[in-house]
Structure 1
Amino acid sequence: MILVTEWLASPGPELLAASGQAVRYEPTLWRDAPRLRELLPQAEALIVRNQTRVTASLLETAPRLRVVGRLGVGLDNIEVEALRARGIALVTASQANAIAVAEYVLAAMLHVARNLAAADASVRAGQWERTRLGGTELWGRTLGLVGVGEIGRRVARRAAAFGMTVLGYDPFVGPYDYAPTELGIAMLPLAEVLARADFVSIHVPLLPTTYHLFDAERLAQMRPQAVLINSARGGIVDEQALVEALSAGHLRYAVLDVTEQEPLPADSPLRASSAVLLTPHIAGLTAEAQERTSRLVVTEVLRLLAEGKTEAAP
């Protein structure tokens, strides 16, 4: 049986239905832990998004499980070592949403530069504030990328088309790798990237080494009146420190698609800040990205099951 515990975009359900495999698609199953543990003993494949916690304890209830499909790329809800120990394969939607996230970052920068929403609200209120609402340009500004992998490189290409200078920090990118040599990204130490960038966009995974990477000290290193964009994982930014940096006027604005706790708690100080734009983890959730993600993960899960063999999680 293939067990799907969260929402699966088309054509995933259709591909599963046509596969001849027994399928249980219950998109809200992740909310019902007892029901999930009841169904898992029959599952050969488990397909999840980011709410189902695939832990060593959960895997103990799934003796027949051979493959886990993750409808996305982040693995902070999956204990990869536990999969590896049991010889269970892991399928992810590698780069399927990279374009969507890159376009989100450009949209975030344009929102800050031109803020069409404020202009629209002003006109609707009977005003005509052309001078105040003219905004600024991205041309000639500097973008700093923290993490220069697939998404970071796609952001860089789009930023360059707007006439921006692109700086990058990534300890895994060498001086003659694709990013610096073909895209012209100037790879620098993190402190220098933060000190020079008008916009800083985060593109690293959430790991013990990146948790609260942007703490009070790091935020203080950012250029005054800079803008922080986080479409990676919420725990990378110390939210209280960010609110304080914004309140003090050191940073101009922040665009957060992810927060440390999701959904965002009602008492979060982020809600009260007018210098923060909040979106509900949608950067990679375009219709096109979801179609690619669904097709890629389901197709690969079905392939592994059909071959009768799996490889341990990477």
Structure 2
Amino acid sequence: MSAVLVVRGAADSGAIRRALPGVLVHDLLDLNSPLPADTAVIVLRSGVRLGERELDALPRLRHVVRTGSGIDHIDMSALRKRGITLHRNAEAGAGAVGEWVLAAALALARRIPLGQHALLLGQHEKQACMGASLGTLATGIWGAGPVGLAADWALAPYVGRTAFAAWPSNPPGLRELSQTALMEQSQLHVIALPLRPTTENLIGEDFLARVTPQRPLLICAGRLETLDIAACLRALADGRLSGLALDPVEREHLPLLTGSTTPLNLLLSPHIGAQRSDVRGALDRWAVELLKEITADDKVLIEGGHR
């Protein structure tokens, strides 16, 4: 009998077991442990790599269920080569990420992280926490996928104006500016780009040099690797950036972000943009219904005619 493998945190494995009593459900912390070779369906969360090594250990895999949007840790060409189908839900958490972006923008504009960091270091830096009104900030949004659109929806009522970086793949009807104009005119930048070879480290020294006259706030709600983190932290420390907020922080990023003994207007969170109970519930229900469909045809979970 083939099985469903749920990576811890990707979905409610208990709910899946209750909904699919005839299906064997494995529950693993990650894909670094020995993988059950009988797995036909895997349910993944963000930050979990699924490449050739993992696929070699899962010879019966036929479906990958991604309860979220990001797929940069998944080797898509390897899936295609093996005839494995990817299912994902990119929209369910977008509104929650937009809400996080709004919270981050307000926190940075009021310099709340700077004040907190100073207090934790035993310093009282009230004067350094003179903030700005969100309503005065022209905002540039980089990326017009579900997260970028949700960030625009959340911010638009409160900021001076929003505009998207012009991109060939943008949907029609958006207010766009050239990337050069966006860098020259925006006091707040929201980075909501997928990780691609063309976007890796896109927000680096060249970007920072162009935006320095505005001393903007910078928020990353997409993938951390789209930023040159070391360059951004240097820009924050020397005042070229007025604030920096990073949500998609995974465990492997921790060495890049620890050790500052100087108060910074820096907000960090462990990839919690979509981590909201209603979103989790919606994704769990979606995963259960999808798995019911996938497993309804016994042939999906049978290899060689034998359970």
Give the TM bin, normalised by the shorter chain: 0.7 to 0.9
**Residue 55 of structure 1, aligned match among 51, 56, 60:** 51
**What pairs up with 1:105-124 in 2 under 5 angstroms?**
105-115=101-111, 118=115
Query: Structure 2: which 5+ residue stretches go unaligned?
Result: 301-307
For the pair 1:138 / 2:134, whether they are aligned, the reply is yes
Instruction: Please report how far the alpha carbon of residue 4 of structure 1 lies from its aligned counterpart in structure 2 after TM superposition.
Output: 1.2
**What pairs up with 1:232-243 in 2 under 5 angstroms?**
232-243=222-233
Following the alignment from structure 2 to structure 1, what is the Cα–Cα distance between the partners of residues 89 and 266? 30
Instruction: Please report how far the alpha carbon of residue 198 of structure 1 lies from its aligned counterpart in structure 2 after TM superposition.
Output: 0.8
User: Residue in 2 aligned with 1:75?
Assistant: 71
Instruction: Please report how far the alpha carbon of residue 308 of structure 1 lies from its aligned counterpart in structure 2 after TM superposition.
Output: 5.4
Task: Provide Cα deviations, 1:251-288, integer angstroms capped at 9, x if missing partner.
Answer: 111101124x634334x356416132211111111112
User: Residue in 1 aligned with 2:304?
Assistant: none
Following the alignment from structure 1 to structure 2, what is the Cα–Cα distance between the partners of residues 133 and 231? 24
Following the alignment from structure 2 to structure 1, what is the Cα–Cα distance between the partners of residues 57 and 196? 27
Following the alignment from structure 1 to structure 2, what is the Cα–Cα distance between the partners of residues 62 and 133? 53
User: Residue in 1 aligned with 2:209?
Assistant: 220
- Higher mean C-alpha displacement, 295-304 vs 70-79: 295-304
Paired residues, what number?
291
Contact preservation (8 Å) 1:213, 1:236: yes
Contact preservation (8 Å) 1:144, 1:168: yes
Q: 1:140 to 1:217 in 2, by over 3 A?
A: same
Contact preservation (8 Å) 1:224, 1:252: no
User: Residue in 2 aligned with 1:290?
Assistant: 280
Task: Provide Cα deviations, 1:109-167, integer angstroms capped at 9, x if missing partner.
Answer: 11022345748x98xx9x9x6x8766321113211000122222222122221153011
For the pair 1:4 / 2:6, whether they are aligned, the reply is yes
Following the alignment from structure 2 to structure 1, what is the Cα–Cα distance between the partners of residues 232 and 59? 44
Following the alignment from structure 1 to structure 2, what is the Cα–Cα distance between the partners of residues 115 and 242? 17
Following the alignment from structure 2 to structure 1, what is the Cα–Cα distance between the partners of residues 224 and 298? 38
Partner SS for 1:30: coil
For the pair 1:278 / 2:268, whether they are aligned, the reply is yes
Whose relative contact order is higher, 1 or 2, with alpha carbons under 8 Å and at least 6 apart?
Answer: 1
**Residue 221 of structure 2, aligned match among 198, 219, 231:** 231
TM-score where L is the length of structure 2: 0.84
Contact preservation (8 Å) 2:111, 2:243: no
Contact preservation (8 Å) 2:11, 2:287: no
Partner SS for 1:168: strand
RMSD (Å), alpha carbons: 2.8
User: Residue in 1 aligned with 2:172?
Assistant: 177
Q: 1:300 to 1:309 in 2, by over 3 A?
A: farther
Task: Provide Cα deviations, 1:181-206, integer angstroms capped at 9, x if missing partner.
Answer: xxxx3x01112111111110011101
**Residue 250 of structure 1, aligned match among 208, 216, 240:** 240
Q: 1:173 to 1:80 in 2, by over 3 A?
A: closer
Task: Provide Cα deviations, 1:229-256, integer angstroms capped at 9, x if missing partner.
Answer: 0011111101121122222211111101
For the pair 1:159 / 2:119, whether they are aligned, the reply is no
Query: Structure 1: which 5+ residue stretches go unaligned?
Result: none
Contact preservation (8 Å) 1:17, 1:23: no
Contact preservation (8 Å) 2:108, 2:244: no
TM-score where L is the length of structure 1: 0.82
Given residue 177 of structure 2, which amino acid in structure 1 is its aligned partner? Answer: L
Following the alignment from structure 1 to structure 2, what is the Cα–Cα distance between the partners of residues 264 and 99? 25
Following the alignment from structure 2 to structure 1, what is the Cα–Cα distance between the partners of residues 56 and 149? 39
Instruction: Please report how far the alpha carbon of residue 8 of structure 1 lies from its aligned counterpart in structure 2 after TM superposition.
Output: 3.9
Given residue 161 of structure 1, which amino acid in structure 2 is its aligned partner? Answer: P
User: Residue in 2 aligned with 1:17?
Assistant: 18
